[in-house]
Structure 1
Amino acid sequence: MTTETSSTSYLRRLGVWDGAMIVIGGVIGAGIFRTPATVAERTSSGLPLLALWVLGGLLTLTGVLCYAELGSRRPQAGGIYLYLREAFGTLPAFLFGWTMALINYPGSVAAVATTFADYFCKAVDLPLLWVKPVAVGAIIFIVGVNLFGIRAGALMQNVFAVLKLTAIALLVVVGLVLAHGHLGGVLATDAIHPATRGAFVGALLPVLFTYGGFHYLNDMAGEVRDPQRTLPRALTLGMVGVVVAYVLANIAYLVGLGHAGLAASQAPAADLMHRLFGTPGAKVMAIGIACSTFGYCSIAIAGGARVLQTMGADGMLFRAVGYIEPRTRAPQVALALLGAWTVVLTLWGNFGQLVDYTTVGEWLGHVFGIGTLFWYRWKFVDEPAPYRVPLFPLLPLVFVVTVLGVITATVIETPGDAGMSLVIIALGVPVYWVWRRWQRR
């Protein structure tokens, strides 16, 4: 029985446009509207700041090319979990799934949903005490829509992906208007924030966080039409669009606010709009950011639920988690569980804690996920692969070594919240053995 006709499996309904919008929606969330200020604090001028965004984009694009080959080789739902299970066995796959279920998917959604609620409340003049109730309501609404299947979720995502690109385009236009044709200040040195030792590496982490989320399409590969051709095209098209949008947005910040002004800003996007349009402009941007963050939450919940469903079907979680509703072909139990835990994290932490809590776990997952590409090339040397990473093994090695270096520096610099990811990964080992023993009994 084929995947397309089975009543207990997914249907392939997503095309190149849908896939590219999922990549854009999964990457562009809250980060580009907030983290450029953090990067500016850790750099001395616009030149290293822009270099970091270009470097982060090229590094992420390298990872995307690797994911394109992995997805074309194994076009089923589950993404990294699936690759780790086949290449390295059930324990590494379980540790990845354990980490993603407890940290990455719910943590990132909780962080971004909180940001969505913050900007939404500002846009409609609600008091701050409404932020967490609005965030929880958004999560419940997104889960509810995705219970109706991938087409309902994809339609919602496509709309919000276009809206978030519109918001970034508006930022770029406003920045250029404020520059009055004088772009020389973009690369000017900032005497207030001199370069310090290790600052460049420290600034790369928030850049990588802002570029994170490109893997969600692979999580949904079981619902992509003609995946051997569609996945590489959608991944590449979507990620190139993100890099261009991010670099242009940072140029707009620099010409509109200056490097020192960007570093001092708590909400650079809103501040940029405020300079030209006053309070109404800041409210317009708040609406744009709310749309962007809401769209990210939709993609993260949809992708995370597919990973949990695959784990349930494998017996790595309760079998009920692997259930796919026959009519909608949605992983309804996985969606409900992921949504519930996300609500718990939303009520628990603030944005800064949740960012640190998720970034290390996510990028470690990317390192080991892309590491499976070496195993596939060795084990299936004669297997037809419609897409292959160029310059193999150089590009995967560059990605793995660079990301491991950034993770190591981050854990040394902030061993608290960042190190918590490593602790939870390690705790997954005894949980795995207890679970396997319970299954055998």
Structure 2
Amino acid sequence: MTAETSPAYLRRLGIWDAAAIVIGGVIGAGIFRSASTVAERTSSGAQLLTLWAIGGLLTLTGVLCYAELGARRPQAGGVYIYLREAFGQLPAFLFGWTMALINYPGSVAAVATTFADYFCAAIGLSPALWVKPVGAGAIAFIVGVNFFGIRAGSRMLNVFTLLKLSAIALVVVVGVVLAHGQFGNVLATDTAHPLPPAAVLGALLPVLFTYGGFHYLNDLAGEVRDPQRTLPRALGLGLGGVVVCYVLVNFAYLAGLGHAGLAASQAPAADLMRRLFGERGATLIAVGIACSTFGYCSIAIAGGARVLQTMGADGMLFNAVGRIHPRSHAPRVALALLGGWAIVLVISGSFGQLVDYTTVGEWLSHAFGIATLFWYRRRFRNEPSPYRVPLYPLMPLLFVGTVLAVIIVTSIHSPGDAGMSLLLIAVGVPVYYAWRAWQQRAA
């Protein structure tokens, strides 16, 4: 059985819906927190802004590669589909094992808890009593909306994407006002303390992680209208908007707080707003961050459920997981499974280490996913493609090389987390063969 069975997904997402998925999947809570980490590892505002621009360009190389892959195989499942065709069922299963069953629900649980933190702070609820119920309730609500199909989920996402962009615009305006026109200090460089290459890569790590999440649109490719044209355009438009937002937000942080103030801040957006509006400003940006994280959860649940459904339709999970509802054309069983497991993680509080353990696996999946492009180019050499990544093979090689360098640096700095990530992937191997053996006996 394949993922393209009846009832099937309906192609209801236009270019703006698809671009909103890219923006919402990338911009979560990271930009409101990780800027301080990057500032700690640099010595001037010019260095910091340069790293955010470089990170955006490097991520764009991966996005362009995903654009060609999505145009070649515009089906739900994304990387799972590419790995299955290029390298076989086992690598595809290992991707699904680590991402759809571990990383997606772990990330959703972590970000839903962040949403609950900011939501409770904004309306004055006690975090100790309400964070877990609010986080679990947010996940249940998102799953419920997505039960009605991709169009309902997309409408909700568009609203929250608009709200998060409004919050970012507010931060930028406040930073410009606080700068009092002294923009030269923001762009001043520190020629006495240039960053050595190793330090550049270390400072680039949190930048690249903050740019993560651009792959969710490929998970939902089976529901995009005219995908061969829409996917490349939406990916480029969405990530281009993200790069502009990230550079402007960091400029605002530097303008309002200064480089040293940004490096010392634990919540730069709140500190920036507090300087101009007091505690009301901090509360207002808390609402904006809550909207941003809520939108991310919606995309991660929708995308992850499509990967689970595709695996179920392939026989890699129980048949019920692979079903698509005949009226809503939504993978309801997969949505319930993913959302339910994420709620368990929120209530138990066990998601933090799980996300840390699967970070290396996530980036490995990106590297192997992009590597399938070489197979497609060779296997279908004479087949015309609606979109081809420019500067091939330089762009995919640059992205894969950068990702592998990030993994190496991460393994050096966090050998325990990297080792556990690889162990979780390895555990999937006996699970795969045990599942196949059970299927053969049941046949």
- TM-score > 0.5 by shorter chain: yes
Aligned position for 2:100: 101
Question: How far did residue 152 of structure 1 move?
Answer: 0.4
Question: How far did residue 368 of structure 1 move?
Answer: 0.5
Aligned position for 2:424: 424
Say if 2:48 is the partner of 1:84. no
* Alignment partners' CA distance in 2, 1:24 and 1:175: 22
* Alignment partners' CA distance in 1, 2:146 and 2:115: 19
* Alignment partners' CA distance in 1, 2:110 and 2:206: 14
Aligned position for 2:177: 177
Aligned position for 1:43: 42
TM score, norm. by length of structure 2:
0.95
Aligned position for 2:396: 396
Aligned position for 2:309: 309
Q: Which moved more, 1:321-330 or 1:123-132?
A: 123-132
Aligned position for 2:216: 216
Aligned position for 1:206: 206
Kept in 1: contact 2:164–2:289 (CA 8 A): yes
* Alignment partners' CA distance in 2, 1:439 and 1:152: 36
Kept in 2: contact 1:107–1:357 (CA 8 A): no
* Alignment partners' CA distance in 1, 2:161 and 2:343: 23
* Alignment partners' CA distance in 2, 1:9 and 1:33: 38
Indicate how the Cα distance of structure 1 residues 419 and 53 shifts in structure 2: closer, same or farther if over 3 A, else same: farther
Question: How far did residue 231 of structure 1 move?
Answer: 0.7
Q: Percent same amino acid at aligned positions?
A: 77
Aligned position for 1:264: 264
Indicate how the Cα distance of structure 1 residues 240 and 403 shifts in structure 2: closer, same or farther if over 3 A, else same: same
TM score, norm. by length of structure 1:
0.95
TM-superposition CA deviations, 1:385-420 (whole Å, max 9, x none): 110000000000000001101111101111223432
* Alignment partners' CA distance in 1, 2:259 and 2:371: 38
Question: How far did residue 344 of structure 1 move?
Answer: 2.4
Aligned position for 1:139: 139
Question: How far did residue 49 of structure 1 move?
Answer: 1.4
Say if 2:210 is the partner of 1:241. no
Kept in 2: contact 1:147–1:330 (CA 8 A): yes
* Alignment partners' CA distance in 2, 1:303 and 1:352: 21
Which letter does structure 1 place at the counterpart of 2:272? L
For structure 2, which runs of at least 5 residues remain unmatched after alignment?
none
* Alignment partners' CA distance in 1, 2:329 and 2:265: 45
Say if 2:23 is the partner of 1:21. no
Kept in 2: contact 1:103–1:361 (CA 8 A): no
Corresponding residue pairs, total: 437
* Alignment partners' CA distance in 2, 1:230 and 1:407: 31
* Alignment partners' CA distance in 1, 2:195 and 2:6: 59
Question: How far did residue 238 of structure 1 move?
Answer: 0.5
* Alignment partners' CA distance in 1, 2:372 and 2:241: 27
Q: State the SS of the aligned residue for 2:377.
A: helix
Question: How far did residue 50 of structure 1 move?
Answer: 1.4
Matches within 5 A, 1:329-340: 329-340=329-340
Question: How far did residue 45 of structure 1 move?
Answer: 1.7
Kept in 1: contact 2:53–2:243 (CA 8 A): yes
Aligned position for 2:380: 380
* Alignment partners' CA distance in 2, 1:294 and 1:196: 38
* Alignment partners' CA distance in 2, 1:89 and 1:392: 24
Matches within 5 A, 1:350-389: 353=353, 356-389=356-389
Which letter does structure 1 place at the counterpart of 2:341? W
For structure 1, which runs of at least 5 residues remain unmatched after alignment?
none
Kept in 2: contact 1:160–1:291 (CA 8 A): yes
TM-superposition CA deviations, 1:41-95 (whole Å, max 9, x none): 2222222211221111111111110011001100110000000000000000000
* Alignment partners' CA distance in 1, 2:287 and 2:87: 45
* Alignment partners' CA distance in 1, 2:341 and 2:351: 16
Aligned position for 1:160: 160
* Alignment partners' CA distance in 1, 2:416 and 2:136: 26
Aligned position for 2:71: 72
* Alignment partners' CA distance in 1, 2:351 and 2:164: 20
TM-superposition CA deviations, 1:289-335 (whole Å, max 9, x none): 00010000000100000000000000011111101110000000100
Question: How far did residue 355 of structure 1 move?
Answer: 5.0
Question: How far did residue 161 of structure 1 move?
Answer: 0.7
* Alignment partners' CA distance in 2, 1:381 and 1:165: 41
* Alignment partners' CA distance in 2, 1:15 and 1:255: 37
TM-superposition CA deviations, 1:348-399 (whole Å, max 9, x none): 4478645533432222111100100000000001112110000000000000
Kept in 1: contact 2:98–2:358 (CA 8 A): no
Q: Which moved more, 1:6-15 or 1:155-164?
A: 6-15
What is the RMSD computed on CA atoms of the aligned residues?
1.9
Kept in 1: contact 2:106–2:352 (CA 8 A): no
Kept in 2: contact 1:72–1:229 (CA 8 A): yes
* Alignment partners' CA distance in 2, 1:289 and 1:41: 22
